[in-house]
Amino acid sequence: MQPRDLSDHIAYEAGRGIEEVARELGRDPSEFVKLASNENPHGPSPAAVVALREAASSVSSYPKAAHADLTAAIADRWSVTDDQVWLANGGDGALDYLHRATIEPDDTILVPDPGFAYYGMSARFHHGDVREYALEREDDFEQTADAVLECYDGDRIVFLTSPHNPSGSTIPLADVEQIAEETDEETLVVVDEAYGEFADRDSAVALLEGRDGFDAREDVAVVRTFSKAYGLAGVRLGYAVVPDEWADAYTRVNTPFAASELACRAGLAAIDDDGHVSRTVETTENSRAYMREHVDAHVWESEGNFVLVDVEDASSVAEAMQARGVIVRDCTSFGLPGCIRITCGTDDETERAVETLNEVLADLNLDANEDGDGATDTDVDAEVTDT
pLDDT reported for residue 194:
98
pLDDT mean values, one per 10 residues, the chain (387 residues): 74 72 77 93 97 93 87 96 95 96 95 96 94 97 98 98 98 97 97 98 93 88 98 97 90 88 96 98 98 98 98 96 96 95 98 98 67 40 33
pLDDT reported for residue 32:
86
Residues with Cβ < 8 Å from 50, sequence gap 6 or more? 269
Q: Please list the residues that pair with 68 across neighbouring strands.
A: none
Q: Please list the residues that pair with 86 across neighbouring strands.
A: 240
In 3D space, the residue among 302, 300, 303 whose CA is nearest the CA of residue 375 turns out to be: 300
266 contacts 258 by C-beta, under 8 angstroms? no
Q: CA–CA separation, 244 vs 221, rounded Å?
A: 10
Domains of the chain listed by start with CATH number: 18-43+275-380 (3.90.1150.10), 46-270 (3.40.640.10)
Antiparallel, parallel or unpaired: β 366-370 and 376-380? antiparallel
Fill in the DSSP letter of residue 211.
-
pLDDT reported for residue 13:
67
Q: CA–CA separation, 244 vs 252, rounded Å?
A: 15
pLDDT reported for residue 12:
67
pLDDT reported for residue 371:
44
Antiparallel, parallel or unpaired: β 85-88 and 238-241? antiparallel
pLDDT reported for residue 379:
39
Q: CA–CA separation, 85 vs 78, rounded Å?
A: 10
Q: CA–CA separation, 367 vs 350, rounded Å?
A: 22
Q: Which residues of 71-82 are buried (b: 16+ CB within 10 A; e: fewer)?
A: bebbbeebebee
Q: CA–CA separation, 343 vs 345, rounded Å?
A: 6
